[in-house]
Structure 1
Amino acid sequence: MGDVHQPMHVGFTSDQGGNSIDLRWFRHKSNLHHVWDREIILTALAELYGKDMDIFRKQLEHNITKGTWSDDVSSWADCEDLLSCPIKYATESIGLACKWAYSGVHEGETLSDDYFDSRLPIISRRIAQGGVRLAMFLNRIFGEHNCDVTPPS
């Protein structure tokens, strides 16, 4: 479920989803796929969250429950047919790949602050959407049961 929300995972076969677009991320060699898979997130962790994944997770959680995306969450989980929803999510991702990942990117160039600042919100939102939708799928498949189970101590 998470992979379909990463725009480069539904990128173009002609460039292997951005894997064959070599470039630099700040000062080190990378490729466009790798930038979207990890570089932007690692940069955010280092620059904005003190390398603390838990702070990043809490920020995503806050934006889902009370913040920026709280009004959108119910539409993210709106799925009539579990078999067709991944196609919808992939279609969203390819649109985002065209608009945000590939846009203005050229082989061999250096991507840095402007690219990071404009793309981090897209990546954060896709991570949140993937989590909300995975929860929806699991709840639909397994039901929303309340159990009288005492966790082991």
Structure 2
Amino acid sequence: MIFRDARREDLAAIVALLADDPLGATRETTDEAVAEAYHAAFEAIERDSNNRLLVMEDEGTVVGCLQLTFIPGMTCSGGMRAQIEGVRVAASHRGRGLGRRAFAWAVDEARRHGARLVQLTTNKARPDAKRFHESLGFVASHEGMKLDLGAGA
């Protein structure tokens, strides 16, 4: 198993991973018009030194992904935060500890980057994901809120 930064040629596999669950299936698409948005997002992530897009590769096949974003802030005495998002493991590779290894990589990377805390959100419709995050030591200390600005915003 290889953990590495994503490359442009990984985009189709990453989008497929993001779409491969009940929630992702409602918000991800391979439609050509939308595909350009994924390319633009990838390029923005690639240019931003505070963003990493990781893939997990098994024998040449992308089987997992996650995004790690570093957020400078004024709170916590000006401490850096790390945000983990978009974590997915292919159905064929679940139950093998790959998610745990991916989170361990992200937490270690956050430490190397000087982050004071690592945060994530998990959809309330994913109780198994919440239990998994808690098993890694994450605590549901805050109530997250979102405002959907729509696709055209």
Q: TM-score, normalised to structure 2's length?
A: 0.25
| Larger RCO (CA within 8 A; separation ≥ 6) | 1
- Which of the two has higher C-alpha Rg? 1
Larger helix proportion, structure 1 or 2? 1
More strand by share: 2
